[in-house]
Amino acid sequence: MTASYLRENFAPVPDEIDAGELAVEGALPAELNGRYFRNGPNPLPGQDPGHWFTGHGMLHGIRLREGRAEWYRNRWVRTGQLEGKPFIGRSGIDLSAVSANTNVIRHAGRILALVESGLPYEVDRELETVGPCDFGGRLTTAMTAHPKEDPRTGELHFFGYGFAPPYLTYHRATASGELVESREVPVPGPTMMHDFAITENHVVWLDLPVVFDLEMIREGLPYRWDDEYGARIGVMPRNGDGGVRWFDIDPCYVFHVANAREDAFGRVVVDAVQYPRDVFVDLWKGISGASDPAAQAGGSGLHRWTLDPAAGTAKEELLDDRPVEFPTIDDRRTGLPNTHLYAVNRQEIVKYDTGTGSSLVHRTAGAAGEAVFVPRNPDAAGAEDDGWILSLIGSEAELRILDAADLSHVASVRLPRRVPEGFHGAWIGD
């Protein structure tokens, strides 16, 4: 029987295509000049990677300019894995033999396709692969798929985790793209840390009970839930002055953080999508092909942790029990107080007001992809929701553009083919 991640809208597309002058319903905003890129796994024809997370990375791109949708194209990221190189060989680990299938970002003029198991791959604005990026030889660990760019300094904060010591390494690159800091962060074992956060003065770590276990490779990926490992959130000064202050929390897993910030009382507040043990285990079965991954829309809901260094306490509260995923914000608020955040729930795009707890919902016919916020004027200090939401509705072959203020429909770009279910996207403005 064909694995669930190779069927229906999870099924990969067989080739790379180009299409020009795409049809548009509605009117594309004249300010949207740039490219929308979306990354995700797409095995080669006839190939079963054994797990949804491990298919070769494929980028899908839509070029918007002056009210027109000029092109769509898709390209595999030409990685060492795609060329057939082993991740572990006679000479050790090859950090370039990875899928690069999870995220895509722009920093310091480079566009990087990311996966947490190895090096990022640089691509150009036409989606052609440039090659692996190791920051001039200074990056010797894997790189997370979820780095954080400080909107005030332009620095890029990221980390790498591994199955052998050092289990966790923190990295910092300058706004010009130079890797200037790498330091080990002590943790008890080989934790699978998918995401993290920054605030104005701190790095926030999620040391949670999903750990490396080589015997689990038969399930597609060598990770499992470990009740004995424990769960904690760490707060580390960004200036390197002092170690990590850890706060124990109830066992859970977090794939994606919306944002973190410091409040007026010196506390660190973290908003994220949380998975309790049972929900995580069910999801893991789905994405490994044991059941239908589409049946698992997201975590148990949007949660908030308030970490109080003075009291030494961590307070957890449920903000919304909808099973959402892929929480996003206006990236200009990364690490700073934010009023709005967005998430998706299969056929819904949800906008939250983080102060009042209220929400707006935009419904879609197909599964909504990650909601990417694009400010109307990225250089202006306008309202936090003055701009647009871009979401790829892959099964409908549509890039949908919404007004971020009220989630009303603005325009839809019709694509020449469906886009398989995938992960994260980015707006690469001109």
Q: 4-429 adopts what CATH topology?
A: Neuraminidase (2.120.10)
| DSSP run (H or E) holding 65 | strand 57-65
Q: What are phi and psi of 357, to 5 degrees?
A: 85, 0
Query: So what's the pLDDT on residue 266?
Result: 94
Cα angle 140, 228, 142 (rounded to 5 degrees) comes to 10
CA distance 254 to 234: 14
Q: pLDDT tens across 154-195, in order?
A: 999 999 999 999 999 999 999 999 999 999 999 999 999 999
Nearest to 57 by CA among 97, 4, 113: 113
Q: The pTM is what?
A: 0.96
Query: So what's the pLDDT on residue 3?
Result: 87
Q: pLDDT tens across 289-348, in order?
A: 655 444 445 667 999 999 999 999 999 999 999 999 999 999 999 999 999 999 999 899
Please identify which residue in the block is written with the tokens 């990364």: 334
Asked if 158 and 181 count as a contact pair (C-beta separation under 8 A), the reply is: no
| Domain boundary assignment for the chain | 4-429
Distances (CA, A) of 226 to 15, 209, 407: 40, 5, 40
- Is the N-terminal amide bond of 14 cis, ω within 30° of 0? no
pLDDT at 256 over 50: yes
Query: So what's the pLDDT on residue 295?
Result: 43
Query: So what's the pLDDT on residue 89?
Result: 86
No. of H helices and E strands in the chain? 1, 34
Query: So what's the pLDDT on residue 289?
Result: 62
Query: So what's the pLDDT on residue 296?
Result: 46
Q: How many CB atoms lie under 10 A from the CB of residue 27?
A: 10
Q: From the CA atom positions of the chain, what is the Rg in Å?
A: 20
Average pLDDT over residues 392-396: 95
Q: pLDDT tens across 4-45, in order?
A: 889 999 999 999 999 999 999 999 999 999 999 999 999 999
